[in-house]
Amino acid sequence: MLLRKLLKNRGLGMNLLASLCLLALFIYTWDLDVGELGRRLLAILLALVIIVAAAACIGWCLYRFRRRTQQDIYPADDTPGHEQGISTDRKQKDD
Contact 7, 13 (CB under 8 A): yes
Residues 37, 68, single domain; the answer is yes
Residues 21, 51, single domain; the answer is no
All residues at 6 or more sequence positions from 88 whose CB lies less than 8 Å from its CB, including other chains = 74, 79, 80, 81, 82
Q: Is residue 53 part of a domain?
A: yes
CA–CA gap between residue 42 and residue 36 (Å, rounded): 10
Domain that holds residue 63: 33-75
pTM: 0.55
The string of pLDDT tens digits covering residues 13-68 is 788 889 999 989 988 898 889 999 999 999 999 999 999 999 999 999 999 888 88
CA–CA gap between residue 51 and residue 70 (Å, rounded): 28
How large is the C-alpha radius of gyration of the chain? 26
Q: For the chain, how many structural domains are there in total?
A: 2
The string of pLDDT tens digits covering residues 63-82 is 988 888 777 666 665 555 55
CA–CA gap between residue 68 and residue 7 (Å, rounded): 48
